[in-house]
Amino acid sequence: MISENPVDFLVDFGSTATKNGSTSVVGVFDKAFAESFGMIAGNDPVFRCPSATGIVRGNTLVIGGVSYTVVGVEADGTGWDLCRLEAV
Amino acid sequence: MAHARQTIREAAATLLTGLTTTSTRVFQSRMVPQESLPCLLITTNDEEIVPGTIGTLLERHLELAVTGCAKATSTVDDTLDTIAAEVETAMAGFAYRNELTRLEVGFDEALEKPAGRIVLTYRITYLTAAGSPGTSI
């Protein structure tokens, strides 16, 4: 188990997102390969951030010029949330 | 020499290219990029072979799947049903004897843009001589 403050990792791996068009938030953006029905290739983007960031389902995030809707927020129990994103 | 299965699949792809909704996005493959939607995937799957009673003839029943895929918007059901209507209409003119046996619909949210699909399964019946799978009779 790591002993560092997880927030320190945002300095190296964090991306800045704009929440609801106005607020800058920092988290780790991951856009890994995914497939649908085993026949449509695409991505499954997620944004991991401290729960204190306050992202909730329905928020919009603009990351790298792409707009996403937060379709799910999964708290991992350690003070971090995994936000599942859907491209607008 | 191409197997008759390939010939049939290619004929279906040719016939189904240019439909209003899916246009030229017709693929004879099992994986397409999400940017290609809406599209059709055409695959030839399992085949039942019945030995004929005349000489070495084989009566073959091939499962041809035509899968329509579309992004899951609020009108995705309409889009998938329209794709099905266009495919069924076109397949009425298919050169091989065919029967529509099944229609399946599904939705999946695994991607950044959820997708829906509709699978039209056709039973294609054709004959070959044993040892000559490339020539349908």
Comparing alpha-carbon positions, the chain B residue that sits nearest to A46 is B112
Confidence of residue B55 (pLDDT cuts 50, 70, 90): confident
DSSP state of B21: T
Count of domains forming chain A? 1
Q: What are phi and psi of B10, to 5 degrees?
A: -65, -35
Both tokens of B11, joined, read 């004929």
In this structure, are strands B57-71 and B32-33 parallel, antiparallel, or unpaired?
A: unpaired
- State pLDDT tens for residues A20-71: 999 999 999 999 999 999 899 999 999 999 999 999 999 999 999 999 999 9
pLDDT of residue A11: 86
Chain A residues close to B112, C-beta within 8 Å: 31, 42-45, 68, 85-87
More confident residue, B35 or B10: B10
Confidence of residue A1 (pLDDT cuts 50, 70, 90): low
Cα distances (angstroms) measured from residue B90 to each of A71, B64, B71, B87, B98: 38, 14, 23, 5, 12
pTM of the predicted model as reported, rounded to 2 decimal places: 0.83
CATH class of B4-136: alpha beta
State the count of interchain CB pairs (< 8 A) between A and B: 61
Over residues A63-81, mean pLDDT? 92
Closest CA to B98 of B134, B127, B128, B61: B61
Over residues B121-130, mean pLDDT? 94
pLDDT of residue B20: 97
Hey, are the CB atoms on B69 and A44 less than 8 Å from each other?
A: no
**Residue B77 to residue B70: CA distance in whole angstroms:** 9
Mean pLDDT, chain B, integer: 93
DSSP state of B27: E
pLDDT of residue A68: 95
Query: Which residue type sits at B6?
Result: Q
Selected for mutation to probe chain A from B74, B104, B112 (highest A CB count within 10 Å) is B112
In this structure, are strands A60-63 and B26-27 parallel, antiparallel, or unpaired?
A: unpaired
Comparing alpha-carbon positions, the chain B residue that sits nearest to A67 is B112
The parent domain of residue A52 ranges over 6-87
% of chain B surpassing 90 pLDDT: 74
Domain membership flag for residue A1: no
pLDDT of residue A19: 96
Hey, are the CB atoms on B111 and A39 less than 8 Å from each other?
A: no
Reply yes or no on whether the pLDDT at B89 is more than 70.
Answer: yes
Chain B CB within 8 Å of residue A88 CB? no
pLDDT of residue A88: 85
- State pLDDT tens for residues B102-113: 999 999 988 888
Both tokens of A2, joined, read 């790591």
* Shortest Cα distance, chain A CAs vs residue B71, angstroms: 10
Q: For position A53, which CATH number holds? A: 2.40.10
Over residues A60-88, mean pLDDT? 93
Chain B residues close to A29, C-beta within 8 Å: none
The answer to whether the beta carbons of residues B69 and B32 sit under 8 Å apart is yes
Domain membership flag for residue A31: yes
**Residue A16 to residue A72: CA distance in whole angstroms:** 19
Domain membership flag for residue A77: yes
Chain A residues close to B108, C-beta within 8 Å: 36-37
Cis-peptide into A50, omega within 30 deg: no
Describe chain A by its helix, strand, coil percentages, rounded to 5. Answer: 10, 60, 30
Q: What are phi and psi of A36, to 5 degrees?
A: -120, 130
